[in-house]
């Protein structure tokens, strides 16, 4: 990687601390290893080969992706890939079965429609794709609604050429509170999982893989009964959400958006050149769209497309035009997705980090 | 443009109806011409040369941009460009003064710091850049706070090499209500503008350009005293915001996101493959992140990164997996910014439309 001078870099631009990235990766990999579970990080957070390489070197068993672009890019790094999203339509199916034959490829889905089309495409390409049946454990977004439906799709997968039943996937994304307030919601998830294992066993199936967990429940993952792997993605960078939930501390924050103060004309405020097109306008119940890394009391109180307005009412700090600040976004994944590249810091050296998995094209299979 | 088969196009992808784009452009250009004001559309909405060409052919006098990338791309189409954003830092200043010398280039700003640095860079490049002083008329984001400050910056611009005072810019972005509820807020803007004109005149200045207006006040633009041009950008496509404010009707909607139903597992809902990475998660007071173009009663009730959840409680329509829908986003500009290209429909032909002005690089001057 060619060195760059950060002082000469224009803003806004995503800024990554690679030492922290390595530390975050190692901590999650060590935690997973300690509890005998695997870590298959969701690379939607970073979409970068370099960061995925760090995760794999730290001990990640494979990678999780959401898009075909991400799959194509990450298949160059690992032989163990989970597409955690139902591929619907010919364009996606064609790209799916064109992934390297050497890949241990798994797809998560929640319907016989998608299962049958994946099986047909896979069989026609003379390959076998592992099927994880996704079960809804409370989020109400996707996932079959009962253990009986899990068994039904497992049976269908077993009866079709081109696919094999590989296990269960769940995502407890409805649990977004601090660890000590998670007990009751977690117990309900545990109950559903246990019920599903029993139903599968009765029907003669084994859920080889149980892929679950989330970032808010990250350090409780070992308590999920039967869990074999976690997919947590944002734990590689963390964000304001992770801080608020107590799953990360300020020292773990590895991603910020580097911005420049461009206006101080309105009293009590300063305006930076980083708006919703660099941070994403994701609101939180407690207000604001981000905080300053070096002034955690300074809230990004509003966002236009290219303007971010800092609330200076709770600080004595008075920025001047041209001053640079680093913003911790509410949600890191969608902010990274808005960058064409990241400025990466590694000890005292800086370089540009490309995001090879970003985007969706080509749009035709 | 090469024809494409829309049935073979993967989703999600932004989808533009060029006949509606031309009609929208013509309506705004005609309205402006009728009232003797100019239209200098903000191309941040579309970032596309093809769409900008349509706006210029309809009668737009020039173009407005927010980023240097947008400026560089759009300078190939017009000789009249307004950078409606203060360029701060060497990288932006170097790119600014490297724009074609033949360009009638104007920059809006609100501080002597930025004015002095623009003047220095411009003088060193042996050119003259027009300065619009931005006044805050109520939004509280950027802009000088009084007519006296407008005069101070006009005087400073007149005293510096490399720049000349060209006029006033304002943005009444705090007015986001229906036309018939705008009267009081508009009167306050009118009062501030009139006061500023008087102060400028007393000091011997003429505001040659008065650049103002907004999309919510679009059809009231002629009522602003002294206005010479409007910049409205989203009126080329419109969105759910425009519908809610009554500034556009359903027939004016020229941009949607084409999406595919990928899950119907959760009762009362359907999930599409279009989430915050295709639509942008911009919340509204009345809830939801978008509506279906063909089923306006169906709200996009929640958004994850790649999932959009449709609320089916107010409709008898029951989509099936693989079915395609078109989503009207809350805010069109940030959705377009998430696309790598658009699928464009022109009568019965489809083609891919590139977004040349998207992105921010290169990051060094």
CATH number at residue A181: 3.20.20.10
Please answer yes or no on whether B267 and A309 come within 8 Å at the CB atom. no
Is A313 an 8 Å CB contact of chain B?
A: no
B1 within a domain of the structure (yes/no): no
Is B304 an 8 Å CB contact of chain A?
A: yes
Q: Where does a domain end: A187, A206, A238? A: A238
> pLDDT tens across A292-334, in order?
999 999 999 999 999 999 999 999 999 999 999 999 999 999 9
Q: According to the model, what pLDDT value does residue B48 have? A: 98
A48 within a domain of the structure (yes/no): yes
A359 within a domain of the structure (yes/no): no
Mark the ranges of chain B whose per-residue pLDDT is less than 50. none
A307 within a domain of the structure (yes/no): yes
**Contact between A81 and A75 (Cβ < 8 Å):** yes
Is B203 an 8 Å CB contact of chain A?
A: no
Q: Which of A51, A41, A107, A71 is nearest to A357 (CA)?
A: A71
Q: Looking at the structure, tell me whether residues B202 and B54 fall in a common domain.
A: yes
Give the gap in angstroms from C-alpha B103 to the nearest C-alpha of chain A.
23
Per residue in A14-38, is it b (16+ CB within 10 Å) or e — as a string?
bbbbbebbbebbeebbebbeeeebb
Task: List chain A residues with CB under 8 Å of B142.
Answer: 262-263, 265-266, 271, 307
Is B70 an 8 Å CB contact of chain A?
A: no
Please answer yes or no on whether A136 and B263 come within 8 Å at the CB atom. no
Q: Looking at the structure, tell me whether residues B195 and B257 fall in a common domain.
A: no
B270 within a domain of the structure (yes/no): yes
Is B327 an 8 Å CB contact of chain A?
A: no
Q: Looking at the structure, tell me whether residues B264 and B178 fall in a common domain.
A: no
CA distances from B11 to A70, B8, B260, B275, B303 (A): 15, 9, 6, 11, 16
Task: List chain B residues with CB under 8 Å of A300.
Answer: none
> pLDDT tens across B240-261, in order?
999 999 999 999 999 999 999 9
Q: Looking at the structure, tell me whether residues A99 and A143 fall in a common domain.
A: yes
Is A260 an 8 Å CB contact of chain B?
A: yes
Q: According to the model, what pLDDT value does residue B365 have? A: 56
A362 within a domain of the structure (yes/no): no
Task: List chain A residues with CB under 8 Å of B143.
Answer: 263, 265-266
Is B300 an 8 Å CB contact of chain A?
A: no
Alpha carbons A271 and A268: distance in angstroms, whole number: 10
Quote the distance between the C-alpha of residue B140 and its chain's center: 19
Q: Looking at the structure, tell me whether residues A175 and A289 fall in a common domain.
A: no
Is A113 an 8 Å CB contact of chain B?
A: yes
**Count of CB atoms within 10 A of residue A72's CB?**
17
Is A220 an 8 Å CB contact of chain B?
A: no
Q: Which of A311, A321, A266, A273 is nearest to B142 (CA)?
A: A266
Q: According to the model, what pLDDT value does residue A77 have? A: 98
Is A357 an 8 Å CB contact of chain B?
A: no
**Count of CB atoms within 10 A of residue A116's CB?**
15
Give the alpha-carbon dihedral of B192, B193, B194, B200, to 10 degrees.
110
CA distances from A172 to A138, B89, B271 (A): 7, 45, 17
Q: Looking at the structure, tell me whether residues B333 and B289 fall in a common domain.
A: yes
Alpha carbons B290 and B279: distance in angstroms, whole number: 8
CA distances from B298 to B268, B276, B277, B290, B293 (A): 11, 18, 20, 9, 9
Alpha carbons A59 and A56: distance in angstroms, whole number: 5
Q: Looking at the structure, tell me whether residues A332 and A208 fall in a common domain.
A: no
Q: According to the model, what pLDDT value does residue B361 have? A: 87
B344 within a domain of the structure (yes/no): yes
Q: Scanning every residue of chain A, which has its alpha carbon at the shortest distance from the alpha carbon of B261?
A: A88
Which residues constitute the domain of residue A217? 18-238
Give the gap in angstroms from C-alpha B8 to the nearest C-alpha of chain A.
6
Q: Scanning every residue of chain B, which has its alpha carbon at the shortest distance from the alpha carbon of A279?
A: B280
Please answer yes or no on whether B86 and A266 come within 8 Å at the CB atom. no
Is B256 strand, coil or helix? strand
Give the gap in angstroms from C-alpha A62 to the nearest C-alpha of chain B.
21
Rounded to a whole number of angstroms, the CA Rg of chain A reads 22
CA distances from A357 to A360, B8, B189 (A): 8, 22, 47
Mark the ranges of chain A whose per-residue pLDDT is less than 50. none
Name the domain count of chain A: 2
Number of Cβ pairs closer than 8 Å across A and B? 194
Query: What sign results for the dihedral spanned by CA atoms A112, A117, A120, A125?
Result: negative
Is A89 an 8 Å CB contact of chain B?
A: yes
Give the gap in angstroms from C-alpha A9 to the nearest C-alpha of chain B.
5
> pLDDT tens across B69-109, in order?
999 999 999 999 999 999 999 999 999 999 999 999 999 99
Angle (CA) B32 B37 B43, round 5°: 70
Q: Looking at the structure, tell me whether residues A33 and A115 fall in a common domain.
A: yes
Please answer yes or no on whether B145 and A267 come within 8 Å at the CB atom. yes
Q: Looking at the structure, tell me whether residues A286 and A163 fall in a common domain.
A: no
**Contact between A358 and A49 (Cβ < 8 Å):** no
Q: According to the model, what pLDDT value does residue A1 have? A: 67
Task: List chain A residues with CB under 8 Å of B283.
Answer: 283
Q: Scanning every residue of chain B, which has its alpha carbon at the shortest distance from the alpha carbon of A289?
A: B282
Q: Which of residues 135-154 of A touch B (CB under 8 A)?
A: 136, 140-145, 149
Please answer yes or no on whether A360 and B12 come within 8 Å at the CB atom. yes
Q: Looking at the structure, tell me whether residues A46 and A172 fall in a common domain.
A: yes
Q: According to the model, what pLDDT value does residue A247 have? A: 95
Q: Which of A272, A302, A270 is nearest to A289 (CA)?
A: A302
Identify the CATH number of the domain in which residue B334 sits. Answer: 2.40.37.20
Q: Looking at the structure, tell me whether residues A153 and A216 fall in a common domain.
A: yes
Give the gap in angstroms from C-alpha B181 to the nearest C-alpha of chain A.
23
Q: Looking at the structure, tell me whether residues B120 and B154 fall in a common domain.
A: yes
A273 within a domain of the structure (yes/no): yes
């Amino acid at each position: 990687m060619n060195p760059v001078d950060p002082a000469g870099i224009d803003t806004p631009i995503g800024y990554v601390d690679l030492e922290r990235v390595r530390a975050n990766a190692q901590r999650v990999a060590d935690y997973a290893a300690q509890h005998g579970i695997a870590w298959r990080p969701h690379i939607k957070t970073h979409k970068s080969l370099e960061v995925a390489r760090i995760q794999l070197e730290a001990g990640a068993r494979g990678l999780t992706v959401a898009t075909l672009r991400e799959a194509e890019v990450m298949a160059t790094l690992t032989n163990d890939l989970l597409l955690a999203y139902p591929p619907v339509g010919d364009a996606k199916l064609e790209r799916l079965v064109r992934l390297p034959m050497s890949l241990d490829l798994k797809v998560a889905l929640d319907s016989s429609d998608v299962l049958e089309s994946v099986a047909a495409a896979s069989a026609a390409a003379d390959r076998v794709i592992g099927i994880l049946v996704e079960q809804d454990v409370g989020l109400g977004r996707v996932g079959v609604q009962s253990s009986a439906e899990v068994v039904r799709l497992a049976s269908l997968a077993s009866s079709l050429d081109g696919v094999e039943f590989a296990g269960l996937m769940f995502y407890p994304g409805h649990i977004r509170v601090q660890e000590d307030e998670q007990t009751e919601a977690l117990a309900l998830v545990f109950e559903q999982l246990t019920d599903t294992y029993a139903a599968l066993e009765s029907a003669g199936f084994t859920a080889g893989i149980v892929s679950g967990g989330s970032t808010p429940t990250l350090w409780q993952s070992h308590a999920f009964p039967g869990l074999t792997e976690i997919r947590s993605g944002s734990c590689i960078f963390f964000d304001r959400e992770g801080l608020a939930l107590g799953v990360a501390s300020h020292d773990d924050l590895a991603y910020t958006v580097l911005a420049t103060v461009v206006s101080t004309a309105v009293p009590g405020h300063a305006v930076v050149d980083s708006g919703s097109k660099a941070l994403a306008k994701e609101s939180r119940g407690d207000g604001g769209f981000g905080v300053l890394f070096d002034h955690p009391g300074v809230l990004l109180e509003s966002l236009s497309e290219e303007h971010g307005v800092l609330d200076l009412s709770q600080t004595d700090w008075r920025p001047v035009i041209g001053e640079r600040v680093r913003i911790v976004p509410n949600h890191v994944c969608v902010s990274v997705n808005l960058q064409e590249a990241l400025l990466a810091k590694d000890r005292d050296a800086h370089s540009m980090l490309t995001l090879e998995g970003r985007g969706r094209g080509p749009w035709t299979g």
